[in-house]
Chains A and B, each alone.
Chain A
């Protein structure tokens, strides 16, 4: 994993800058501190990316080992966290290529497009109006996590980075090597998919 070459790179001094400088200057035992700092975030990211929890554990291990291997090449041209997720995403995609899954399906906007003939809602459902904190609970978090894992990976990766991990469109595009417009297209379809599932949960399953 290498960072892009830039003749006049501007260094980003984020909260990890000093720690990475120390590790690269020879205090390699401090790499454990970097792992501690991000293991919980990466654990949750991996659980959402891998259908199998043991694959998620492998993904975290491989990600940190890759980060250690390539840390000397990190040029602070992005936040370390963004680079870490780039390594994690790349590790995740490589893992999938090695597995024997069938090609994942595309989500078409047509699946979610409002139909002129269909019965249209004449009101906003309660779950979209009530205070958010009255809605959030462990059960709903479980529904979200279980639904996200059913999304095809290319959409899942985008919605997790944008709406759960909080990266911007530009950052997500950089992490996944996609154009910003491609990120937007995938995100919109992933959100519509999730919305359909939430509608089903709130209107039928509860």
Chain B
């Protein structure tokens, strides 16, 4: 937090829009407002960076391979239902 004129209201406003900011869903003016605030508020900057990192981790989580046994079981089930053409 920097400066005595820091207004906690701005922190709360920014906090509510962080996901939309990260997703590029805000207009230019709203983005500029958030960036200006984050540059002057370490707490909000930290909040933004940790949320960005959370999203990035989710986007990069690798899938597990489907177990062969279940894949075969699924094929069998489908085979029973799908009529022969």
Could you list which residues of chain A lie within 8 angstroms of chain B, going by C-beta atoms?
A: 26-29, 31-32, 35, 39-41, 43-44, 47, 57, 60-61, 64-65, 68, 109, 112-114, 116, 120-125, 127-129, 132, 135-136, 140-141, 144-145, 159, 163-164, 166, 169, 184, 187-188, 191-192, 194-195, 198-199
Instruction: Name the A residues within 8 Å of B33 (CB-CB).
Output: none
Segment 48-66 of B: residues with Cβ below 8 Å from A: 49-66
Closest A-chain residue to B16, C-beta based? A109
Could you list which residues of chain B lie within 8 angstroms of chain A, going by C-beta atoms?
A: 1, 8, 11-12, 15-16, 18-20, 23, 25, 42-47, 49-66, 70-71, 73-75, 77-79, 81-85
What number of A-B contacts does a CB cutoff of 8 Å give?
133
Can you add 8 more A-B contacts, CB < 8 Å, to A128-B50, A169-B25, A188-B18?
A: A31-B82, A35-B74, A40-B63, A43-B64, A61-B77, A123-B46, A132-B57, A192-B51
Q: Pick the contact of B59 from A28, A145, A166 — CB < 8 Å?
A: A166
Closest A-chain residue to B79, C-beta based? A32
Instruction: Name the B residues within 8 Å of A61 (CB-CB).
Output: 74, 77
Instruction: Name the A residues within 8 Å of B70 (CB-CB).
Output: 43, 57
Question: Chain A binding site: helix, strand, loop or mixed by DSSP?
Answer: helix
The reply to whether B79 and A195 form a contact with Cβ atoms under 8 Å apart is no
The reply to whether B53 and A128 form a contact with Cβ atoms under 8 Å apart is yes
The reply to whether B74 and A64 form a contact with Cβ atoms under 8 Å apart is yes
The reply to whether B15 and A35 form a contact with Cβ atoms under 8 Å apart is no
Closest chain-A Cβ to B64's Cβ sits at a distance in Å of 6
Instruction: Name the B residues within 8 Å of A44 (CB-CB).
Output: 63-64
Instruction: Name the B residues within 8 Å of A57 (CB-CB).
Output: 70, 73
Closest A-chain residue to B70, C-beta based? A57
The reply to whether A141 and B82 form a contact with Cβ atoms under 8 Å apart is no
Closest chain-B Cβ to A66's Cβ sits at a distance in Å of 11
The reply to whether A114 and B78 form a contact with Cβ atoms under 8 Å apart is no
Most chain B CB within a 10 A radius of its CB, from A60, A144, A163, A187: A163
Instruction: Name the B residues within 8 Å of A127 (CB-CB).
Output: 50, 53
The reply to whether B42 and A195 form a contact with Cβ atoms under 8 Å apart is no
The reply to whether A191 and B19 form a contact with Cβ atoms under 8 Å apart is yes
